[in-house]
Structure 1
Amino acid sequence: MAPIVKPEDFPSPDSRLELTVSYGETDRMGYAYYGHYPHWFERGRGHFIKERGMSYGEVETRGVWLPVRDLAVRYLRPAHYDDVVTVRTAIAAWGRASVTFVYQVFGPPDASILLAAGETLHACTTPEGRPMAVPGWLRGLFSV
């Protein structure tokens, strides 16, 4: 189960991405479908990388792939159609050949209500899928 990090204990640096829950992201009950949260994490992760001056595609062009090895989500409260949610993203841990991202999704009324928390563990591999040590430039990029 994904740990719930208190907002004040969330790792730094972090990034925040604001999203609006679309009608197509909701289920029959009007809640954001649970399967969309991992996609929101992915979007938050891409935003985190882009805020540091590089796109995820550029990381891959440099020969580093970050496939997801593990995913955990803890759902606390539902998001609803047309809610504005904020996805907060940071790095919680580095391994020799891995990186762990953590996420928090906040919702209305003022983006202060914690709706979900999660984490993804990524292997660091070559484009052929072979494990590789996390390059120093990547660790440096993600630490700013």
Structure 2
Amino acid sequence: MPAPNEAQPFFYRCRVYYEDTDAGGIVYYVNYLKFMERARTERLRSLGFAQSQLAIDDSLFVVRTSEARYHAPARLDDELLVSAAVSEMKRASLTFYQEVRHATDGKLLCEGHFQIACVGTQSLKPRAIPDALRDALVGSGLSTAGE
């Protein structure tokens, strides 16, 4: 899974808590998806778009597809850096490339691609990504190739 170029990378920092681990003290695989979800949400928030406000404005983002590869385990008390880079933007969807790395040494633990669809709050049918969000993503360095 090659990483896309992004002019302004975004990182979400988090720590592994006991609740994130299995009996062996290793992060349970599905929790990487939670870390990446939080990073995507914080990426939008960093651009001025809270998911709660988007919902009021009749836009929800839902995961359409997900793909993850696991390279090495994270353990209890590890500090992690989770990236959230938009690699493709279409009329009604965003594709994110994400990595989870150890904060101390940068070791890659997990990477994935996630297609996120924009849907209407009530209809749950595809709708165009709001223009203001589209403009903010382009302004943050996202290439519009692939539209």
Q: So what's the TM-score if we normalise by structure 2?
A: 0.86
Q: Which portions of structure 1, spanning 4 or more consecutive aligned residues, are displaced by more than 3 angstroms?
A: none
1:132 is aligned to 2:127: yes
2:8 pairs with one of 2, 8, 13: 13
Output the aligned Cα RMSD: 1.5
Question: For residues 118 and 77 of structure 1, what CA distance do their matches in structure 2 show?
Answer: 14
Q: Partner amino acid for 2:73?
A: P
Q: 2:49 touches 2:133 (CA, 8 Å); kept in 1?
A: no
Residue of structure 1 equivalent to 2:109: 115
Q: 1:21 touches 1:80 (CA, 8 Å); kept in 2?
A: yes
1:90 is aligned to 2:67: no
Q: Which structure 1 segments of 5+ residues have no match?
A: none
Question: For residues 139 and 97 of structure 1, what CA distance do their matches in structure 2 show?
Answer: 10
Q: Which stretch of structure 1 is more off in the superposition, 52-61 or 41-50?
A: 52-61
Matching of residues 23-62 of structure 1 within 5 Å: 23-62=18-57
Overall identity of the aligned pairs, in %: 28
Residue 25 (structure 1) shift? 0.7
Q: So what's the TM-score if we normalise by structure 1?
A: 0.88
CA displacement, residues 45-75 of structure 1 (integer Å, 9 cap, x when unaligned): 1110111122111122211111111111110
Residue 10 (structure 1) shift? 4.3
Residue of structure 1 equivalent to 2:70: 75
* Secondary structure in 2 matching 1:142: helix
Q: 2:64 touches 2:116 (CA, 8 Å); kept in 1?
A: yes
Question: For residues 98 and 120 of structure 2, what CA distance do their matches in structure 1 show?
Answer: 25
Question: For residues 55 and 105 of structure 2, what CA distance do their matches in structure 1 show?
Answer: 33
Q: Partner amino acid for 1:100?
A: T
Q: Which structure 2 segments of 5+ residues have no match?
A: 141-147
Question: For residues 57 and 142 of structure 1, what CA distance do their matches in structure 2 show?
Answer: 18
Aligned residues: 138
Q: Which stretch of structure 1 is more off in the superposition, 31-40 or 134-143?
A: 134-143
Residue 11 (structure 1) shift? 2.6
CA displacement, residues 73-117 of structure 1 (integer Å, 9 cap, x when unaligned): 110010000000011111010122211112110115x24111110
